[in-house]
């Protein structure tokens, strides 16, 4: 049997593009072309051939390390936190009814099971139960952060450039589909949140430098916070969500590190040459007036 889980709601998707030192220099030269007329550029670069500048986001996408950006977050809150969140489930293409989403405060991932032996509180639709609900087996679970699902950490050299592409959306759809056994029941599905405390380097830099600005801007309108959905667990296997949406606000935040210190990431290339992306800095209050 094949299960498909859909979660619809608002959110903020963030990707990170990493450029090495050589590509970073080429991007800087491209920006110089964007603010200089060809005659002046030729005078400053004798012997070099003038070529028209490239749209920065196209250049970043082409030059990105490993050929693909890193997903930081799809940015959609779970049913417990978000506003206007809708969850639906189907089996082999047919809608399947379920009792709701049950939030478990103290559940722990153990091999292929969600251990609820020490669970003293169950929450559904904002109502707290001190005992397991009678329809528990017909509920999809929401277990928050789980240590067993952290991503593999990596290093970001200090001479690299990190470009965060940030797009908000008022209605997106997270989907995950996978095969299940014949004994399937909704309570075998467990929604899992992102885990900021065990983030990759790119994620850590995002949470340290950018996240607070996004939360200040979007918390009131869509309830945005750090408890965003990552995927769904089924019998110990984590299936990451895929997101489809139509975007709203579009931001770009470029960070570089000239100090060599892990906490030394600072804004780079602050100007108006990013096309339809509004550049923002983590250190200036310029997120709210667009």
Give SS3 for 101: strand
- CA dihedral 14→20→23→24, nearest 10 degrees, is 70
What average pLDDT does this structure show over 266-290?
66
Instruction: Please tell me the pTM assigned to this model.
Output: 0.88
Contact residues for 53 (Cβ-Cβ < 8 A; gap 6+): 30, 31, 33, 34
Q: Identify the bridge partners of residue 82 per DSSP, sorted by sequence position.
A: none
Domain spans, the chain: 2-279
Q: What is the pLDDT of residues 89-130, one digit of tens each?
A: 999 999 999 999 998 876 666 555 566 656 667 888 878 887
Q: What is the pLDDT of residues 220-234, one digit of tens each?
A: 888 888 889 999 999
């Amino acid at each position: 049997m094949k299960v498909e889980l859909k979660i619809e709601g608002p959110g903020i998707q963030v990707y990170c593009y990493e450029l090495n030192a050589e590509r970073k220099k080429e991007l800087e030269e491209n920006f110089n072309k964007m603010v200089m007329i060809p005659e002046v550029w030729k005078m400053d670069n004798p012997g070099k051939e003038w070529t028209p500048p490239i749209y920065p986001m196209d250049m970043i996408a082409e030059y990105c390390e490993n050929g693909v950006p890193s997903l930081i977050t799809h940015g959609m809150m779970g049913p417990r936190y978000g506003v206007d969140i809708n969850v639906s489930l189907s089996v082999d293409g047919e809608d399947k009814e379920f009792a709701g989403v049950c939030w478990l405060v103290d559940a722990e991932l153990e091999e292929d099971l969600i251990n609820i032996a020490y669970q003293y509180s169950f929450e559904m639709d904002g109502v707290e139960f001190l005992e397991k609900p009678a329809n528990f087996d017909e509920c999809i679970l929401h277990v928050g952060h789980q240590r067993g699902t952290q991503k593999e950490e990596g290093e970001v050299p200090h001479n690299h450039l990190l470009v965060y592409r940030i797009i908000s959306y008022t209605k997106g759809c997270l989907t995950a589909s996978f095969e299940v056994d014949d004994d399937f029941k909704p309570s075998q599905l467990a929604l899992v949140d992102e885990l900021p405390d065990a983030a990759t380097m790119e994620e850590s830099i995002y949470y340290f430098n950018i996240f607070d600005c996004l939360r200040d801007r979007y918390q009131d309108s869509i309830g945005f916070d750090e408890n965003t959905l990552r995927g769904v667990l089924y019998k110990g296997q984590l299936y990451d969500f895929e997101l489809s949406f139509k975007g709203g606000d579009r931001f770009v935040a470029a960070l570089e590190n000239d100090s060599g210190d892990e906490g030394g990431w600072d804004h780079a290339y602050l100007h108006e040459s990013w096309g339809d992306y509004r550049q923002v800095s983590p250190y200036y209050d310029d997120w709210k007036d667009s």
